[in-house]
Amino acid sequence: MLLVAVAVLAAVTTARWSTEGAAAAAAEGPAPRLRTYCIAADSVPWDYAPHGINDITGQPWDETAATFAQAGPARIGSTYVTSLLWPR
């Protein structure tokens, strides 16, 4: 786990279900509501083309697609490092 972030956000509730409630809310302003969100992020290698072929057509990569999907001396390939976010 590379990063653990805790965010404390104040959200306001503005919904009122009657005209009296709406008038009171306008006079006193919205009441803040405290919410806590905890998330974690892991950096992992992710293969965007795991089958080695074009999954839509079922054919091998054409020259243009191979530039992005196949690894080589001047090519990155289909595996990149990405972040997966997890609720905690």
Write down the pLDDT at residue 52.
84
pLDDT at residue number 1? 43
The whole-number pLDDT of residue 13 equals 37
CA-CA distance, 67 to 62, in Å (whole number)?
Answer: 9
Whether pTM > 0.75 for this model: the answer is no
Distances (CA, A) of 78 to 11, 28, 38: 40, 56, 31
pLDDT of 5 reads: 41
pLDDT in tens, the chain (88 residues): 444 443 333 333 334 445 566 666 667 777 888 888 888 999 999 998 888 888 889 999 888 888 888 888 877 788 889 998 888 7
* Contact present, 9 and 37 (Cβ < 8 Å): yes
